[in-house]
Structure 1
């Protein structure tokens, strides 16, 4: 029998972590957990403004950072193994577990839908698609423009929820922009004038979100979920394209503003930011358990604004607990298995040069 050809691999030397990126992950993860905690309270005026402000940019922020950290992806065997162990396996564990829990309490879904993420699993599913298509976006002459056209055009059709393809396509421009960011561009965001302008922008938009006429707005929450077609949102194609284009611009502007405010140096948030992976995967279980088993949100709703404030504080505490070292040590074998039994041995072969 002919021996299998050696597998191309990238250099094995681990890259040092960048404190700025870990700080950014920490702050955006707080927004993710707070946003998910307020989902059931969107009917309340005291929660709707905060929710709208968070959802206007927290996923664009997360996706752009994910694009930047994937800029070295070339599809070699080591990177493919990492996709399987840190994306595919956690996706299957989290998605199937949450669907089973939901079915236990509500009877839905009647059949497990492995390829149709129902909640937090969508991001891992989308990240798999983005990561595998990374070489395409690095090869195109006009990748950012192409991704924007695809995102705007995606709203013209109904895209099935297969590996969260509808969200993956809608949010694609932020991933592609992240792929083409550089350290120098991030550093340029840290100038004092830009930080002052960013603080005023984010603060002003936060205040504005509290006073938007939600009773006269069509589907504000639905637009910010990035998963519905323009027809589902009861708008014309032209209006739909204009609104999504505006949301893309707003999401990018707020993301860059938030990035300019992220601390550059190491602090206690840096270590926490190194472990956001576990917080993202686990916080959904806590929220679902409190909601389904104790009906916490239904019980808290009559208390109005104090309940909203209490939930925000509790979400921040929960997020920080789930980013601690003991949690990472406990769940790393579950969510980042080695899977050495599944793959061929990595043999010595010409190495793939990765740009710095």
Structure 2
């Protein structure tokens, strides 16, 4: 067995950053932006295959990392202030503004449903719910088994979309597994043989999705409908089996992707420190391009070339939104200090990274 590289880290007085995790954030954010951009072209086989491959594992990948970085959450005053300023406030800003934009262009939703996230703000709501329930998942005797059972069974009943609860419960196992990951387990993924196998698995999954996804019901990848709801239309056993397959595929591909993430510091490490702003802002770019300039409708007739151009442009946009100037400009908006809202905390800050992304 080859020697495993340690996870490099940098520290500051207020938090610890691990280069490996920031690299992972960078690469998964590219997948997020590309996946959201390709949503407009899923009726084309060329884009549909790429979209399906991305959606099979990009959120499990993202959620595993989020679970791992939240493992120190105990609910102290400093951490509560942090989740309010970096999760609650961004959720309200993004969800309210995006629903208003959609209402302007499409007359929906009508009425406004600010506590029922319509698009990407669901992840802010999910991180909030997962974060505040973290002590429960540490206390349970069988937390992973419990979370899997919840994920499989939630599709059998009607769950209101308040704070995206169906998706929160569906994706729950990835967060709980992330909570129980350790540095040593991540280091095991760096073994050369595992990396070779991971590349083969991801490449094989890409080929399979690209070749066979034309007849698949892609709504399964959204993790939010009941199993018997249109367009899933599955009986209870079929629904549980399909959700179970998605869990297995999500875990396998997410760990394969994590295996291939570079360990050392590079320019992607610095960009990965600022994925928070890219996540929050890229949706506005897509909405404006779609509704104001009708870019996706104009590209539609070009088929595979349109999908390729979209992937390239999405990659460029994602990198631009991870530049330092973007975080400098938008930090006061999306991460307000809120000193007027909270009491002064007499306890010193601890060197833990609990950033939302």
Task: State the TM bucket, normalised to the shorter chain.
Answer: over 0.9
- 1:183 & 1:213 partners in 2: Cα distance? 36
Per the alignment, residue 307 of structure 1 pairs with 306
Change (3 A) 1:353 1:61: closer
Per the alignment, residue 241 of structure 2 pairs with 242
Per the alignment, residue 95 of structure 1 pairs with 95
- 1:143 & 1:76 partners in 2: Cα distance? 22
Please state how far the C-alpha of 1:13 moved relative to its aligned partner. 4.6
Per the alignment, residue 200 of structure 1 pairs with 200
Please state how far the C-alpha of 1:276 moved relative to its aligned partner. 0.1
Per the alignment, residue 262 of structure 2 pairs with 263
- 2:339 & 2:267 partners in 1: Cα distance? 34
SS at match of 1:17: strand
Show structure 1 runs of 5+ residues with no match: 1-11
- 1:84 & 1:15 partners in 2: Cα distance? 18
Q: 1:227 aligns with which of 209, 224, 227?
A: 224
Per the alignment, residue 149 of structure 2 pairs with 149
- 1:282 & 1:128 partners in 2: Cα distance? 19
Please state how far the C-alpha of 1:213 moved relative to its aligned partner. 5.3
Per the alignment, residue 283 of structure 1 pairs with 282
Per the alignment, residue 335 of structure 2 pairs with 336
Per the alignment, residue 9 of structure 1 pairs with none
Q: Summarize deviations over 1:186-218 as a string: whole Å, max 9, x none.
A: 000000000000001100110111110523x3x
Per the alignment, residue 296 of structure 1 pairs with 295
Please state how far the C-alpha of 1:295 moved relative to its aligned partner. 1.0
- 1:86 & 1:203 partners in 2: Cα distance? 35
Q: Summarize deviations over 1:267-321 as a string: whole Å, max 9, x none.
A: 0000000000000000000000010101111110000011100000000000000
- 1:37 & 1:353 partners in 2: Cα distance? 36
Q: Summarize deviations over 1:171-198 as a string: whole Å, max 9, x none.
A: 0000000000011000000000000000
- 1:68 & 1:131 partners in 2: Cα distance? 11
SS at match of 2:265: coil
Q: Does the alignment pair 1:72 with 2:80?
A: no
SS at match of 2:163: coil
SS at match of 1:164: helix
The answer to whether the 8 Å contact 2:56/2:246 transfers is yes
Please state how far the C-alpha of 1:352 moved relative to its aligned partner. 9.5
Counterparts of residues 317-336 of structure 1 (less than 5 Å): 317-336=316-335
Per the alignment, residue 191 of structure 2 pairs with 191
Show structure 2 runs of 5+ residues with no match: 1-11, 353-357
Counterparts of residues 54-203 of structure 1 (less than 5 Å): 54-203=54-203
Q: Give me the TM-score of the superposition, normalised by structure 1.
A: 0.93
- 2:14 & 2:344 partners in 1: Cα distance? 19
- 1:48 & 1:346 partners in 2: Cα distance? 50
Change (3 A) 1:348 1:194: closer
- 1:271 & 1:149 partners in 2: Cα distance? 38
Q: Give me the TM-score of the superposition, normalised by structure 2.
A: 0.93
- 1:165 & 1:127 partners in 2: Cα distance? 11
Please state how far the C-alpha of 1:235 moved relative to its aligned partner. 0.7
- 2:350 & 2:288 partners in 1: Cα distance? 45
- 2:116 & 2:314 partners in 1: Cα distance? 27
Per the alignment, residue 4 of structure 2 pairs with none
Deviating above 4 A after TM superposition, structure 1's stretches of 4 or more consecutive aligned residues are 351-354
The answer to whether the 8 Å contact 2:90/2:334 transfers is yes
Change (3 A) 1:353 1:327: closer
- 2:294 & 2:51 partners in 1: Cα distance? 20
- 1:247 & 1:117 partners in 2: Cα distance? 23
Please state how far the C-alpha of 1:109 moved relative to its aligned partner. 1.3
